[in-house]
Every structure is written in C-alpha cells, then in structure tokens.
Structure 1
Amino acid sequence: MPGTRIVVVGGGFAGYHAAKELTRTLPAGAAEVVLVNPTDYFLYLPLLPEVAAGILDPRRVSVSLPGTLPGVRLVLGEVTGVDLDGRQLTYTDPEDRTATLGFDRLVLAAGSVHKLLPIPGVAEHAHGFRGVPEALYLRDHVTRQIELAAATDDPKERDARCTFVVVGAGYTGTEVAAQGPAFTRALAARHPELAGQPIRWMLLDVAPRVLPELDERLGRTADRVLRERGVDVRMETSIDEADAEGVTLTTGESVPARTLVWCVGVRPDPLVDAMGLDTEQGRLVVDTRLAVPGHPDVFACGDAAAVPDLTRPGKLTAMTAQHAVRQGKLAARNVAASLGHGQAKAYRHHDLGFVVDLGARQAAANPLRIPLAGLPAKAVTRGYHLMSMPGNRLRTGVDWLLDTLTRRQTVQLGLVRSAAVPLDTSAPEVPKIRR
C-alpha cells in the first residue's frame, strides 16, 4: 500500500476537491496523491468577470495549489495521452518537455474548453473567457477600444469601437454583459472627447430568455437589470458571421463592432476524445459511482464525465461548478474505497440553488429554492463565493471594499497578446518560454 500512487488529472473544481478529499479520506502514508495541472493555481472561475471589469486583482481568483493542498504532489504539465493498460500517462511540461507518470488509480477531471460553432470568423475574431489570460486580455482590449475611440475623429469608427457584443446568455455571458457598462463608463469618463458618445453593450442568445438553465424568475430578474443598464438584450438571436469590422446577426442586421466576446458554452477537454473510450454528449461514460466501465482503477468527474443524474432518470448532470465539486469529493471517497478505506457510493445530487452576480448592488439567487434579487441576493452571492473559495478570501473582500470606496483602476497592462489566447483550442500554440 505505501507504494500506491493516485494521479488526479486537472486542478479545476472537480480535480482540486478530489485531491483534497483524498488527503482527508486516506490514512497517512496509505498512498501518494499526485495532481497534474498546467498551472500551479486553482482558478475560481465564477469571479473571472470581475477580473475583466477591473474590480478584482487576477491573483484573487488564482489560489495556490501547493499552498492549499498539503500532502499532494503537484506536477506541472498538460496531459496528452493515457495508457490505461500500462497504467501510465504522458504529459508535456511548461518548458515543452515530454514525460511519463505511472499510476495505480486515476481520477480524470480534465475539465472543459470553449465550444465553437461553425460560424465564419468566430475563431479568428472572437475573444473567449475561460482563464486569467483571457480575462486580462479582454480588460486590456476593452480599455484600448475606448481609448482609440477617443482618439479618432471618424464617428463611424468611434461607434464601432464603443460597441461590445457578447454571445451567450448563460452564467458567464450574462455576468460579463452585466459588468461591462460600468467598466466602459469609468473608462470613458477619463476622455472629454467621448462626452455624449453612446456606448453599446449587446447580449445575444438563441435561447428564448436570459439564463435559460435557471429558474425563470431569476432569468427575468437578470433580464430586467441588464436592460436597466442599457444592455441591448436580443433573445432568439445570434450571429451568422464575424469579421474585423463587426458581426452580422441571424436577423440579417449588420453591427459594426471591434469586440466580440464568445460565451456560448463549453465542451469536454480534447483529452476525452484522445482516450478512445465510450462517450456520451462528448463526455466520458461513467457509472453512478463515477468509475469508467471496464476500468475499475479509473474514475472521472466534472465536465469531462457523463455522470448519470439519479434525480432525473435518463439525464446527465449539468456541467456546473456545483456538480464538479461534489463529484470530485465523491470520486476521491470511491477511490479510497477501492483501496479498502470506506464504502463506495453512487452520486446523487440535490440542488442547493444558484447565484449570479450582476454587478453594482444587483444579483439573482435562489438559495434552497428561495428566489432573491437586489441587495439580499448580492449578500448571498458574495457570501457564497467567499465560502466556496479555497483561499484568498480576505484579499477578495478587501478588493470588493476598495471598489465600493474608490475608483477602479483603468489602465492597460499589456501582459497578454491576442495570439496567446486563441479561441480555437486546436490552433497552434504560442512558443513556450525556454531557459
């Protein structure tokens, strides 16, 4: 038993909590727990829109893996292949070196990537929103558009640079569109040349309403707040084409714009397809105990796994952080049970509600199915995030306080170039730093 190695692939919500639960569940010295992840931090994704809007420092949502997972060995790298029969995986480290790592138990929590649609121009001209580099790039890009708008005398160019199109009215897209107007208003206030200049934010989705996956009352609340802030909300509408000058909507309308934010959804990490195992809706097939059929030493959880929803027969659990956290913990306990510590159990989820931050003093929440809006929802939302974050709580709270009391910082940092954050995950990578 001391020679047993458990490898967790992915340090997102599912992988992080799987690794943490393994150290709690297993007796000291029973096994080595190894976490393979491209970065040395856990990203608290729900607060990323506040990073893009200049409210939070990016370090607040980047929680150190070594600092918060004592007893877990971190291996920096991107897993590129898994040999299930040989119980070995291959990964590429940040300096582009290839290495292998053996395992006795494997937890696949590789997460998800952008979901692209076959729409001309999207991969080349849209900006994704799945990580800190993308949030920093978007913040710089939006800042740059306002500054370039102030510098031009061409009214058509100024209008285009002051138009921001967000596609996808789910959690992320709604929060980006909700945070956007206050951010661009703060940017424009520094430029007298933009006095009276309309700044337009658009939110598009093919769904019939905002936040279609949530309770209808929450969707109505979010829709009302967005419209009150001047966001042009267009439901049952998307884009047919994008180029450097703007987008063409499915209605045929042409919208000159220099900013297209893609928040349509996600798909499982490409590693899932590369493994050659059975999938459902692109996700790795698992049983109710999160084990991969035919491979009792392999478990999967989070966005990469097609976990049966026992509360909705015939359905799969949604790709949400709430599911990922719980599945990660259960996968860890079931791995421990496979090693003789505890008893394996099936995954059964009971919805505790959802929270959506709408910026300023607005939010929509339904904790324990109690619909809330306004300040009460805001308090619940921020309280929930602080409790859910595995670190950086005090610093996050201080940033929120400073945003209330002072003007937000509005400068370009120039740390991330567009080539470093391609929307198409199959696009050639930017050359990695070498020593």
Structure 2
Amino acid sequence: MAKPRVVIVGGGFAGFHAARTLAKAVSGGADVTLVNSTDYFLYLPLLPEVAAGVLDPRRVSVSLAGSLRGVRCVLGEVFQVDLADRRLRIRSPEGQTSELGYDRLVIAAGSVNKLLPIPGVTEHAHGFRGIPEALYLRDHITRQIELADMATDPEERAARCTFVVVGAGYTGTEVVAQGSLMTADLAKVRPGLRDQPIRWMLLDLAPRVLPELDQRLGRTAERTLRRRGVEVLTKTSVAEATADGVRLTNEAEVPTRSLIWCVGVRPDPLVEGLNLATEKGRLRVDEYLTVPDHPELFACGDVAAVPDLTRPGQTTAMTAQHAQRQGKLVARNVAASLGWGERRAYKHRDLGFLVDLGGVKAAANPLGIPLSGLPAAVVTRGYHLSAMPGNRVRVAVDWLLDAVLPKQRVQLGLVRSAAVPLESAAPELPSSRMVSSPEHD
C-alpha cells in the first residue's frame, strides 16, 4: 500500500519542528513534505543582531534540507488549498505552478507584518521580518550616518541622525537596543558628527515597554534604553508619515529619514482563503491542534488560535516559544492519527522570557527568576545557542569576534528599498532585485 502523505506548509518555528519531530515519529512509514518559500529555517530572535552587523546572516539561516532527514523539502509558496480534493497549489520562486496531494495537512505558515491604515506608512516605513529587511536596515542606518557626516545643512543632518521605531514589543525593543549601539559606534569615526546628537525614538500606544511581558522586564528594558539616550514614548504612535518625517499622535513633528515598523504581526493571508472559522484572523483549532470538522487538517504556530488550557477562554500568544512546542506536539498528533502513538492536548508551562538589549545588557526571567545586566545576557545567549537547530559554533564565534575586534561598519548594497516593501513578510531576493551598488536615499 502507498505510504500516507503528510504535507507541512511553512518552515518557521512551528513547521520546522513539526517536520523534524514527525520524520522521527513515523520512521519512514509516511511521506513527509515541507513546503516553504525559502530553503532555510530563520532563527528570528537573532535577526536584530544581523541588522546591527553582530552576526552574519548565514548564522541565523539553517538549511532545511540539511537539517530535516527523511523530509522532502519543496521550495515554493502555497497559494491555494483545495480541502475537498486534498490538494495544494504551489508557486515556485520563478513563477511555475504545481500541485501536491496530501492525506494529512499541517498549516504552519506563520505571520506577516501587521498593517494599520495610517497615511504614508506603507510607502515610507520598512518592516522587520526577514533577512532581506535586516540587511536593508543595516545598510540604511549606516548610510544615514555617512550622509549626515557629509551634510552641510544642520536640519538635514539632524533628520538623518533620527531613527523612529514604532512598536515596543520584542522586535522593536531589540531593534532600538542594537541600533542605538550601532549608530554610536558609527559616529565615533565621523568627525562631522562629534557634537551631533544621535536620536532614537521608540513609540507604542501601550502604556509601557514590552506590554505583553512581566512588568519587571519592561521596566528593566526601558531603564536600559533611556540610559543610552533612547526616547521612549508610550501611549504614542505615528499619525502620518512622509519622505521627510513623521507626525505623531501627540501632534509633534519629527524630521527623519528612518521609520522602522515593528508594530506586530498578523496570520499569513493563506488562512483567509481557506474559508474556515477563524478567531482574530487565526485558524480555529481544538486543544489537539485539529481544525474542527476536518480531522485531516491541523494548524499550529502564529496561524492557529490554540486554546490556552492554563487560561480558560483565551488562546496562546503568537510567540516562538509556543510555535516550537506546538510544532512538536502537532507532529505527534499527526503521527497518532496515522497509527503511531496517542494524541495529546496542548498544555504549556511558561519557561520565562528573554530580551536581548545589546552588548552585555539583557532582561530575563527564566523560570520566574528576574535577571538583568550581564547575568541576563549570559542566560539569553545560552538559551539562544541551545534553541538553535544549527550553526551554534558559528554564532558563538561571531559573538566572540564582535566582543574583541573592531566593528566592521560598511554598506554591502545588496538590498534596495523596493525589494522589502512593508506589506511583505520575508521577501525573496531573486537576481533581478539584487544590485551591486548602494541605494541612494
């Protein structure tokens, strides 16, 4: 008899761990296929360090084919799901389409940038969801400091030395933390900026930094940022953006060439085309990660509204921690549906949270123990090394070299602004979008 076909859509935290766990659970008794738009798993928590030039982008990119033994990896994007015939339609990076049948389907497509109807944001802001965006941001920040050094107009110089980050969650906080250290280092070798303030602003409509985490972590992060000169504006956001600056909700006008959008994420648009029940845009599933009335269909990670059994009536948060655990569990439940083992409900225990604030600064509460400063930084980096499915030695070496050698602050000129539009999640970098010289802002 033919082996059952299991297809996993998405190679992020949920999809990657689902594929790896399932391949081990079925031991070759089923055909396991992973469909993803890139050929790598992106370790997203370390992306701010790529943008700051601390880590090489290859360090946070783990080869899917090299890491997932027993799994067939298909490079492409699923744009249509036929639930009746149990078939997927896939578009390759070069535009060809193909179909793929399945007996079990796991939707783990992840999330994309959350867009808000604010005039000018889509045209003038850049998100932070993938390697192309991180590389673009690194070049952009470097370029602004270099152009500010050349500027003869004080107003232009000030605008180029002002960086506005919207969203004080994980990503925004870490981008500001790494970025403020990066620009301070860049300015040291620029005589024209000796007396020029480098202004970083962190905005959020929430009443505090890291609103989704323990208040002590938020206070630690905010205190560290303020000591570096970062302007933290809570209950404040952008009302309008232009090419020359932003107008804030408090009516303040801020001249800037840099608007970085870290407001949050929303489930991948693939969910909308399924015509199934959703909750706040996420696919509704039961505690076994199965879609109601579709025993062959599973979902996990950011696309799934998973019941939080530790908080009745609520769903689990869209975090890497949940996605990784759900990926492992969904693999076991898919295997159980095929005759290997028994299915289990998803119930988690909070292990704590970690926020890297750059250098030797961090905030963490592993197992509920609040830490800050160097101890938190050691715990944070230790956790990341243990959680990464590959490249651990290379990451550790990059950290060591960054600590003992002078920083390499140059533009690479690989990614143009048009290649990383805000509305995309993690844009591809086909050759037609690569350039050999920097984009001029």
- Superposition TM-score, scaled by structure 1 size: 0.97
Three-state SS of the structure 1 residue aligned to 2:202 is: strand
Cα distance in 1 for residues equivalent to 2:151 and 2:160: 10
Match of 1:77 in 2: 76
Structure 1 runs of 4+ with >3 Å offset: 428-434
Partner in structure 2 of residue 229 of structure 1: 228
Asked whether the equivalents of residues 21 and 329 of structure 1 are also in contact (C-alpha less than 8 Å), the reply is yes
Render the CA deviation track for 1:148-181: whole Å, top value 9, x for unaligned: 1111100000000000000000000000011111
Q: How many pairs are equivalent?
A: 433
Cα deviation, residue 104, structure 1:
0.7
Deviation at 1:417, TM superposition (A): 0.7
Match of 1:261 in 2: 260
Structure 2 distance, partners of 1:109, 1:60, is 23
Instruction: Confirm or deny: 8 A CA contact 1:77 1:92 kept in the other structure.
Output: yes
CA distance in 1: counterparts of 2:191 and 2:374, whole angstroms: 33
Give how far 1:3 is off: 2.2
In the alignment, does 2:360 pair up with 1:361?
Answer: yes
- In structure 1, runs of 5+ residues without a counterpart are none
Contact 1:96–1:432, Cα closer than 8 Å, also in 2? no
- Alignment-derived partner of residue 23 in structure 1: 23
Secondary structure at the aligned position of 2:240 is classed as strand
Using the TM superposition, give the Cα deviation of residue 376 of structure 1 relative to its aligned residue in structure 2, in angstroms: 0.7
- Amino acid paired to 2:3: G
Q: What residue number does 2:439 align with?
A: none
Match of 1:406 in 2: 405
Distance 1:244 1:319 in 2: 32
Q: Offset of 1:425 from its aligned partner?
A: 3.2
Residue 13 of structure 1 is matched in structure 2 by: 13
Residue 209 (structure 2) aligns with: 210
In structure 1, the residue corresponding to 2:342 is in which secondary structure? Answer: coil
Does structure 1 retain, via aligned residues, the 8 Å contact 2:362–2:377? Answer: yes
Aligned residues of 2:132 and 2:429 also touching (Cα < 8 A): no
**2: CA distance, partners of 1:194 / 1:217:** 35
Question: 2:225, 2:206 → 1: CA distance?
Answer: 16
Secondary structure, counterpart of 1:267 in structure 2: strand
2:172 pairs with 1:163: no
The residue aligned with 1:3 is 3
Cα RMSD after superposing both structures: 1.5
Residue 411 of structure 1, CA deviation? 0.7
Residue type of the partner of 2:22? L
Q: Does the CA-based 8 Å contact 1:419-1:430 persist in structure 2?
A: no
Alignment of 1:169-248 (within 5 A): 169-248=168-247
Deviations 1:97-142 (A, max 9, x none): 1111011110000000000111001100001000000000000011
1:309-388 correspondence to structure 2 within 5 Å: 309-388=308-387
Q: Which residue of 1 aligns with 2:64?
A: 65
Secondary structure of the residue aligned to 2:302 is helix
Q: Distance in 1 between matches of 2:329 and 2:432?
A: 37
Secondary structure class of the residue paired with 1:315: coil
Q: Report the more deviating stretch, 131-140 or 405-414.
A: 405-414
Q: How does 1:45-124 map to 2 (within 5 A)?
A: 45-124=44-123
Q: Is the 8 A contact 2:132 2:428 kept in 1?
A: no
- Superposition pairs of residues 250-329 of structure 1, within 5 angstroms: 250-329=249-328
- Cα 1:433/1:85, change in 2 over 3 Å: farther
Choose 189-198 or 377-386, whichever is displaced more. 189-198
**Alpha-carbon distance between aligned partners in 1 of 2:295 and 2:370, rounded to the nearest angstrom:** 42
Determine helix, strand or coil for the equivalent of 1:272: helix
2:301/2:323 contact within 8 Å kept:
yes
Report if aligned partners of 2:28, 2:70 keep a CA contact under 8 Å in 1.
Answer: no
The one-letter code matched in structure 1 to 2:213 is: L
The whole-number CA distance in structure 2 between the counterparts of 1:389 and 1:61 is: 8
* Mapped contact 2:112–2:423 kept (Cα < 8 A): no
- Whether contact under 8 Å (1:2, 1:32) holds in the other structure is no
Equivalent pair of 1:2/1:29 in contact (CA under 8 Å): no
Verify the 8 A CA contact 1:89 1:101 in the aligned structure 2.
yes
Q: Tell me, which stretches of 5 or more residues in structure 2 are unaligned?
A: 434-441
2:135 match: 136
Q: Which residue of 1 aligns with 2:389?
A: 390
Which structure 2 residues correspond to residues 138-157 of structure 1 after superposition, within 5 A? 138-157=137-156
Kindly provide the amino acid, as one letter, of the partner of residue 7 in structure 2: V
Q: Is the 8 A contact 1:2 1:30 kept in 2?
A: no
Question: What are the superposed Cα offsets for residues 250-284 of structure 1, whole Å, 9 maximum, x if unpaired?
Answer: 00000000000000000000000011111001000
- Partners of 1:195 and 1:371 lie apart in 2 by 38
SS for the counterpart of 1:188 is: helix
Q: CA deviation at 1:432?
A: 7.3
Higher mean alpha-carbon deviation, 13-22 vs 416-425, is at 416-425
Distance 1:332 1:100 in 2: 23
Secondary structure of 1:165 counterpart:
strand
Deviation at 1:29, TM superposition (A): 2.6
In 1: Cα distance, 2:42 partner to 2:234 partner: 30
Q: Within 1, Cα distance between the matches of 2:311 and 2:85?
A: 36
Q: 1:192: Cα distance to partner? A: 1.0
Q: Shift of the alpha carbon at 1:349?
A: 1.1
Corresponding residue SS for 1:343 = coil
**1:417 aligned to 2:408?**
no
